[in-house]
Structure 1
Amino acid sequence: MNERVKGKKILITGASSGIGQYLAIHVARQGGIPIMVARSRDRLEIIAEKIKDAFGTRACWYEADLSNDADWKDIIDQICYDHGSIDALINNAGMAVFELVSESKWKDIDRMISVNVKSLFRTTHQLLPHFLQQGSGHIVNIASQAGKIATPKSAVYSATKHAVLGFTNALRMEVEDKGIFVTSVNLGPVRTNFFKQADPSGAYERSVDQIMLDPNQVALEVVNALFVKQREINLPSWMNSGSKVYSIAPALMEKVMQGQFNKK
């Protein structure tokens, strides 16, 4: 059991599958209280029951569509009322549709911005006063290596993750002397249902199959880093090295990696 996490209330968005469900499981395993949010009521109920059976820990859950800002604002208020204080926030919810900009549907663009950016801003903005008042807290934003290297067919998705990284870095500097930790988690491809919506053809998922991350391991690393001052978690580490090279020589890397970049 992790003493840093024990007894702490951790709000997790996008908790009904993939990384989110494993985050809830590892929080409970380490003695914390996961507060799960997602659209799928059925999945949340199942995960909460499994956590209770496995660890004897209550796992709270709230059904919410994070793309609906007004409703999500009200649900955050309800969460704060129900629990009094929150110790950490993991902004995990995210979605993508990989398309050329010229072929993209506006509803898909709008939803990516709403879920990946606006809801993350909303949740953080609403909970930040609680963290500041209690003089402690940890905000973890699940970003992406796509926020560091944009590729064809992911213009909007990459833009949303660029926004998350910019927001995270600025927020970290604003609150670092107030007892609040802020961490970005920059991931490569993860073996989840994410790609079923992002690329229904399955072509991109097949092309990166050998390098896909295990969502359980990703979640464990994130939970192990809770309440530790850490600027970034980059997985896999070699992909982050590529991001650093890209920042120095973007034109060269785009030329060299053109074939890989165009596999979406």
Structure 2
Amino acid sequence: GVLYGTKAFLPMMLAAGRGHIVNVASLAGRVALPGSSVYSATKHAVVAFSESLHYELSPRGILVTTVNPGLVRTEAFPHSDAKRVMKPERIAEVIVEVVKEGKAPEVSIPKWLSALQLVRLVAPPAYHFGMRQAVKRGLRSTRVDESNA
């Protein structure tokens, strides 16, 4: 979708001298999550493609924004009743806001996810410690789920 969408609409935007491409990646595009290596890799690719494209196209009047949502309620996500899971409509609202306000190059939803990315860049040991703790908690809850099955 990301490459095909860009290929389809970019020529028209270049001809007009303006436009805004919004690509939806994921928190997994910035933070590699355990148990989702392939998903994380593909979302990292979307982030890198979009960021590179942003710097290439912004001098030509075209913005490129990556939207990185956290957990979103979808058929593919089994924990759709979890407290921090967002409705897809919330992501759509943010995309409309991004285009109206001309935000670029990256937006995280919810905004506190930006702090997690910052910790990863500024204090890698603290980030890795926190991730190890999260994995331990996650593994415990998985074991409980498996024992109840």
Same topology, TM > 0.5: yes
Identify the match of residue 185 of structure 1 among 67, 76, 96. 67
Task: State the AA in 2 paired with 1:252.
Answer: F
Matched ranges for 1:134-213 at <5 A: 134-195=16-77, 202=78, 205=79, 209-213=82-86
More helix by share: 2
Where structure 1 has 5 or more consecutive residues not aligned to the other structure, the ranges are 1-118, 196-201
C-alpha distance after superposition, 1:46-69 (max 9, x if no partner): xxxxxxxxxxxxxxxxxxxxxxxx
Offset of residue 261 of structure 1: 5.2
Structure 2 residue 17 is matched with structure 1 residue 120: no
Offset of residue 159 of structure 1: 0.3
User: Residues of 1 paired with 2:137 and 2:11: CA distance?
Assistant: 43
User: Residues of 2 paired with 1:131 and 1:174: CA distance?
Assistant: 13
Confirm or deny: 8 A CA contact 2:72 2:86 kept in the other structure. yes
TM-score where L is the length of structure 2: 0.81
The size of the alignment, in residue pairs, is: 137
| Counterpart residue number, 1:94 | none
Q: 1:139 to 1:260 in 2, by over 3 A?
A: farther
Offset of residue 131 of structure 1: 0.9
Offset of residue 239 of structure 1: 2.4
| Counterpart residue number, 1:232 | 106
Task: State the AA in 2 paired with 1:226.
Answer: V
| Counterpart residue number, 1:223 | 96
What root-mean-square deviation, in Å, do the aligned CA atoms of Structure 1 and Structure 2 show? 2.1
Matched ranges for 1:56-67 at <5 A: none
Offset of residue 125 of structure 1: 2.4
User: Residues of 2 paired with 1:261 and 1:212: CA distance?
Assistant: 16
Confirm or deny: 8 A CA contact 1:145 1:240 kept in the other structure. no
Offset of residue 127 of structure 1: 2.2
Structure 2 residue 115 is matched with structure 1 residue 241: yes
TM-score where L is the length of structure 1: 0.48
The sequence identity of aligned pairs, in percent, is 35
Confirm or deny: 8 A CA contact 1:143 1:161 kept in the other structure. yes
Q: Which stretch shows the higher mean deviation, 213-222 or 169-178?
A: 213-222
Where structure 2 has 5 or more consecutive residues not aligned to the other structure, the ranges are 143-149
